[in-house]
Amino acid sequence: MKALQWQGDHLLILDQTKLPFVEQYREIHSYKEMAEAIKNMEVRGAPAIGAAAAYGFALGAAEYRGSGEDFKDYMDEVRAVLEGTRPTAVNLFWALRKMEDKFREFLNMNDIGNIRAALINEANEIAEDDRRMNKRIGEYGNTLIPEKANILTHCNTGSLATVEFGTALGIIRTAHESGKKIHVFAGETRPLLQGARLTAWELLQDQIPLTLITDNMAGYLMQQGKVDMVIVGADRIAANGDTANKIGTYSLAVLAAAHQIPFYVAAPTTTIDLKISGGDEIPVEERDDQEVRKIMDVRIVPDEVSVYNPAFDITLAKYITGIITEKGIISPPYSVNMVKMLVR
Ligand SMILES: CSC[C@H]1O[C@H](OP(=O)(O)O)[C@H](O)[C@@H]1O
């Protein structure tokens, strides 16, 4: 399964809000449709929304019908709309900056006729780079996986969260494909159930042994000695290693530390944001409270009850054993070793 696929003049996305029981695809022909799909989480996952935003930018340029003098202002609006979708995953902003740089390059050459083709090519390269990075993350991460490991993961970090293969799930796939008899505990991940609906679906298709748990079972599993390691994804990693990831990740990290269980973050280096020094600077998205009030459109909370719905939390670097990237595994102290890894 693929979260998104370029079709020559439009992007085909798998609507993840309908999974796992309905596999419904949607054609994206405009940057506004792309922005809507990202905001509604029809396409989701830090690397996937980065690639999707890149294609959205290219679609925006293809929609332009002016003579050129206002092309820059028009594309500034396209970028602003796409950047306004979701604030936490830095991949979206990194990808749009790359697309903007390519746009300016052709604009400065006054080569408007070829700009559209150049932007589609840039978006394709961003997508291909993500696919390549995930494979490398899988190889490095697999060196950490013992035979018959019981691995706890959270949310969805697989092919549905990336262009292909996944990050934390990419490591799990690589370990499984290398013949290790691993088993996965997947947290259901309230409120939108990315674990129950998406990770379980992906691992079932790959025939990787999986046990689904509710999020509140993780501590008891660890207390019983049933978890050998935790591997999660990331939406933004600060220069000191503090990491934003799906809500519930911080709780898992503290529990893992209390039980002396290794806790790893898996992410491409495009998820690292050296412009911010610590996790308190990472913008944490708060989403519509209807996502907490309902499960698959069934109301579970009286309307009068107040609801809080942060989509992410911040795991402090001190709880992270290592950060697994396509360039290698970064160990603490992250503020020193992060830069060393990025310049490799
Ligand atoms: C490949 S890491 C994806 C990352 O994104 C997810 O968030 P969302 O489902 O809200 O897009 C989650 O934090 C995953 O770890």
Same domain, 110 and 202: no
Same domain, 175 and 317: yes
According to the model, what pLDDT value does residue 60 have? 98
- Give residue 44 CA to ligand 1 midpoint distance, Å: 7
According to the model, what pLDDT value does residue 67 have? 87
According to the model, what pLDDT value does residue 3 have? 94
Question: For ligand 1, is residue 237 a contact (CB within 6 Å)?
Answer: no
Q: Indicate if the pLDDT at residue 343 is higher than 90.
A: no
CA 43 to chain centre: 10
Q: Which domain holds residue 218?
A: 136-342
Q: How far apart are CA 182 and CA 285, in angstroms?
A: 33
According to the model, what pLDDT value does residue 109 have? 82
Same domain, 24 and 129: yes
Cα–Cα distances (Å) from 205 to 137, 158, 201, 329, in that order, read 21, 12, 6, 28
Same domain, 28 and 141: no
Taking residues 196-206, what's their average pLDDT? 98
Lowest mean pLDDT among 68-72, 159-163, 199-203, 207-211: 68-72
Question: For ligand 1, is residue 271 a contact (CB within 6 Å)?
Answer: no
Q: How far apart are CA 270 and CA 94, in angstroms?
A: 7
Q: Give the orientation angle of helix 71-83 with respect to helix 90-108, to 10 degrees.
A: 170
Same domain, 271 and 319: yes
Domain at 36, CATH number: 1.20.120.420
Q: Indicate if the pLDDT at residue 179 is higher than 90.
A: yes
In ligand 1, the atom with minimum distance to the C-alpha of 311 is 10
According to the model, what pLDDT value does residue 308 have? 98
Residue where one domain finishes, among candidates 112, 133, 154:
133
Same domain, 98 and 124: yes
Q: Indicate if the pLDDT at residue 234 is higher than 90.
A: yes
In ligand 1, the atom with minimum distance to the C-alpha of 285 is 10
Q: Indicate if the pLDDT at residue 218 is higher than 80.
A: yes
Question: For ligand 1, is residue 88 a contact (CB within 6 Å)?
Answer: no
**Which residue, by CA, sits nearest to atom 4 of ligand 1?**
45
Cβ atoms of residues 319 and 253 within 8 Å: yes
Task: Render pLDDT for 146-178 as a digit per residue (tens, 0 to 9).
Answer: 999 999 999 999 999 999 999 999 999 999 999
Task: Render pLDDT for 235-244 as a digit per residue (tens, 0 to 9).
Answer: 999 999 999 9
According to the model, what pLDDT value does residue 290 have? 97
Mean pLDDT over each residue of the chain, to the nearest integer? 97
Question: For ligand 1, is residue 246 a contact (CB within 6 Å)?
Answer: yes
How many domains would you assign to the chain? 2
According to the model, what pLDDT value does residue 164 have? 97
In ligand 1, the atom with minimum distance to the C-alpha of 41 is 11
Q: How far apart are CA 324 and CA 105, in angstroms?
A: 33
Alpha helices in 168-281 (DSSP H): 168-177, 194, 200-205, 218-223, 249-258
190 is in an annotated binding site: no
Q: How many other C-beta atoms lie within 10 A of the C-beta of residue 123?
A: 25
Q: How far apart are CA 173 and CA 205, in angstroms?
A: 11
Q: Indicate if the pLDDT at residue 38 is higher than 90.
A: yes
According to the model, what pLDDT value does residue 115 have? 93
Domain at 143, CATH number: 3.40.50.10470
Question: For ligand 1, is residue 245 a contact (CB within 6 Å)?
Answer: yes
Ligand 1 pocket test: pick from 19, 155, 173, 189 the residue with the most ligand atoms within 8 Å of its Cβ: 155
Question: What are the residues whose beta carbons fall under 8 Å from the beta carbon of 141, sequence distance 6 or more?
Answer: 168, 170, 171, 174, 175, 231, 264, 266, 324, 329
Task: Render pLDDT for 84-97 as a digit per residue (tens, 0 to 9).
Answer: 999 999 999 999 99
Same domain, 28 and 76: yes
Same domain, 167 and 315: yes
According to the model, what pLDDT value does residue 203 have? 98
Q: Indicate if the pLDDT at residue 53 is higher than 80.
A: yes
In ligand 1, the atom with minimum distance to the C-alpha of 156 is 14
Report which residue type is found at 190.
Answer: R
Taking the alpha carbons at both ends of the chain, their separation in whole angstroms is 32
Residue where one domain finishes, among candidates 97, 118, 133:
133
Same domain, 37 and 94: yes
Question: For ligand 1, is residue 199 a contact (CB within 6 Å)?
Answer: no
Q: How far apart are CA 24 and CA 4, in angstroms?
A: 12
Same domain, 100 and 173: no
Cβ atoms of residues 231 and 156 within 8 Å: no
Which member of 130, 235, 242, 313 is catalytic? Answer: 235
Residue where one domain finishes, among candidates 100, 133, 166:
133
223 is in an annotated binding site: no
Question: For ligand 1, is residue 91 a contact (CB within 6 Å)?
Answer: no
Report which residue type is found at 66.
Answer: G
Q: Does ipTM come in above 0.90? A: yes
Catalytic (active site) residue 129:
no
pLDDT tier at 296 (50, 70, 90 boundaries)? confident
Same domain, 153 and 255: yes
**Which residue, by CA, sits nearest to atom 13 of ligand 1?**
246
Cβ atoms of residues 230 and 155 within 8 Å: no
- Give residue 88 CA to ligand 1 midpoint distance, Å: 10
CA 153 to chain centre: 14
Question: What are the residues whose beta carbons fall under 8 Å from the beta carbon of 312, sequence distance 6 or more?
Answer: 88, 235, 244, 245, 246, 247, 249, 282, 284, 285
- Give residue 157 CA to ligand 1 midpoint distance, Å: 6
**pTM for the full predicted model:** 0.97
According to the model, what pLDDT value does residue 111 have? 78
Task: Render pLDDT for 246-293 as a digit per residue (tens, 0 to 9).
Answer: 999 999 999 999 999 999 999 999 999 999 999 999 999 999 999 999
Question: For ligand 1, is residue 169 a contact (CB within 6 Å)?
Answer: no
In ligand 1, the atom with minimum distance to the C-alpha of 167 is 1
Taking residues 309-334, what's their average pLDDT? 98
Give the residue, 229 or 344, on which the prediction is more confident: 229
Ligand 1 pocket test: pick from 235, 251, 287, 312 the residue with the most ligand atoms within 8 Å of its Cβ: 235
Same domain, 234 and 144: yes
Q: Indicate if the pLDDT at residue 112 is higher than 80.
A: no
Question: For ligand 1, is residue 315 a contact (CB within 6 Å)?
Answer: no
Q: How far apart are CA 251 and CA 153, in angstroms?
A: 12
Q: Indicate if the pLDDT at residue 138 is higher than 90.
A: yes
